[in-house]
Structure 1
Amino acid sequence: MDEMNRIPETRVEQREAYEATSVYELVREDILQGKLAANERLKVSVLAARYGTSTNPVREALQQLRGEGFVLFSHNRGARVRPIDEEFVRDIYEMEVLIEPYLTSWFVGIATDEDIARLEAIQDRIDAIGFEDPEAYSALDTQFHRLMYDRHYNRHALDMWWKHREILRAISRKFPFARGRRREILNEHRQLIEAIKDHDATTAARVIAAHVGGSGRHIVEHMRASRNL
């Protein structure tokens, strides 16, 4: 009898977990698009009505967004939207400039000929489509970096990289890469592959740091330019 009673409870938990993921994505997108304005109060009941769900998934989503820096909590005001400004992006990519060289250096030590061949194949596809299809480019770029990082033993560092990448990727959709930055990205990927082939962890770390830093600065510069229009 107890076991039978646990089955629907488990299903409820599964449904709420799914809804929390969905609400998280919706709230995050609304923050990035400005539909939820900077410093706007986030009331659980209002958000539940807005997204057609119960309050538990909303609370879970807000906690996840708090962990990623999108939502701030204060004792008197509750939850509110953190302003997505240049400082927010700067803080994220400066952390990534530290994390990604660490992940990359480790990968250089374990990379096989098959890994290198797969990186080259992915990069060939990136070169072929260029940046004309942003969704395809983003998917391939994610494959490229995940191939290097996904086997790393430090899951905390990997999770942090993934969260930061998703944030920067979401923000960067509003600021397409200029031609000069596009050429730099393609060259940096090729330089990275060559360093991995040479088992040169120092060069690989330097290249990936420049790669991340360049993309972060690109977003910040565009944010400043759009703010000054």
Structure 2
Amino acid sequence: MVGKADTRDGVPVLSRALLREQAVEVIRNMVVSGALASGDRINEVELAGRLGISRGPLREAIQRLSSEGVIELRQNRGAYVRAITPEDVRHMYEARELIEVRAAELAAEHASEADIVALRETLDGVRAALQNDAGASYPQEADVHDLVLSLSGNRYLQQVGVDLQNRVRVARAKSGSSPGRAREALAEHHEIVEAIAGRDGERAATAMANHLRNSLQHLFESAEE
């Protein structure tokens, strides 16, 4: 979402921070989609031209993505799309389990009725999308994990959890494109949401842990294909 811009003579002026955040999102999506592949060197001049921005905000975006682990900065060699190892993936999911299992438990305690309606509506949208297209993958914009993190009521859990989500989206790009896994994930998300709706923190935590472990297993199986 584009934030409110300053104006100059009545004309909106995009701030440097806004350009940086937009560039972060675009570059991250390029990595997830494969437009920038693992190990690719990032040509700053070319990429800045494609994005229509100067190299200043682009470099700030690259620094941000480096802190997320998406891009690797090599001394005197430039920026490269970071290769993610199986050990990296396992460590990410171990951290996700610690954070998101607790977030699900807290969401069962803190979520309002309106929040639960929003969770169910999100899943209804995913279900409709998958039913309308047999080959569809799970919609990235309908991520229940982000919602659960936000409903935990703990902004620190949310901040760390969202950062991990951004890293994992790159790692799971291949797994997420599997229609079969998308439908399994939808069923698992349904179990998490209904546990939250039932105010059953223990069940929500268990459902989240099972879902994350299944996701990790599928990710490794996809990598072997």
| Partner residue, 1:204 | 204
Aligned residue pairs total 215
TM-score, length-normalised on structure 2? Answer: 0.74
List gaps (5 residues or longer) in structure 1. 1-5
Contact 2:32 2:173 in 1 (8 A): no
Cα distance in 1 for residues equivalent to 2:190 and 2:125: 13
Shift, 1:82, TM fit: 0.9
Cα distance in 2 for residues equivalent to 1:30 and 1:38: 11
Contact 1:86 1:224 in 2 (8 A): no
More off after superposition, 27-36 vs 210-219: 27-36
Contact 1:96 1:161 in 2 (8 A): yes
| Partner residue, 1:101 | 101
Shift, 1:35, TM fit: 4.4
Which structure is larger by alpha-carbon Rg, 1 or 2?
A: 1
Cα distance in 2 for residues equivalent to 1:138 and 1:49: 27
Amino acid at match of 1:205: A
More off after superposition, 63-72 vs 194-203: 194-203
| Partner residue, 1:177 | 178
Residues 110-121 of structure 1 mapped to structure 2, 5 A cutoff? 110-121=110-121
Q: Does 1:72 align with 2:63?
A: no
Amino acid at match of 1:21: E
Cα distance in 2 for residues equivalent to 1:38 and 1:173: 12
| Partner residue, 2:60 | 60
Shift, 1:57, TM fit: 1.0
| Partner residue, 2:193 | 193
Residue 130 of structure 1 aligns to a residue whose secondary structure is helix
Q: Identity percentage over the alignment? A: 30
Q: Report which of the two has the higher share of helix.
A: 1
Contact 1:152 1:158 in 2 (8 A): yes
Shift, 1:178, TM fit: 4.7
Shift, 1:43, TM fit: 5.3
Cα distance in 1 for residues equivalent to 2:115 and 2:88: 34
Contact 2:31 2:170 in 1 (8 A): no
Change (3 A) 1:118 1:28: closer
More off after superposition, 62-71 vs 42-51: 42-51
Shift, 1:182, TM fit: 4.3
Contact 1:68 1:163 in 2 (8 A): yes
Cα distance in 1 for residues equivalent to 2:29 and 2:62: 13
TM-score, length-normalised on structure 1? Answer: 0.72
Q: RMSD across aligned C-alpha pairs, in angstroms?
A: 3.4
Change (3 A) 1:132 1:58: same
More off after superposition, 125-134 vs 205-214: 125-134
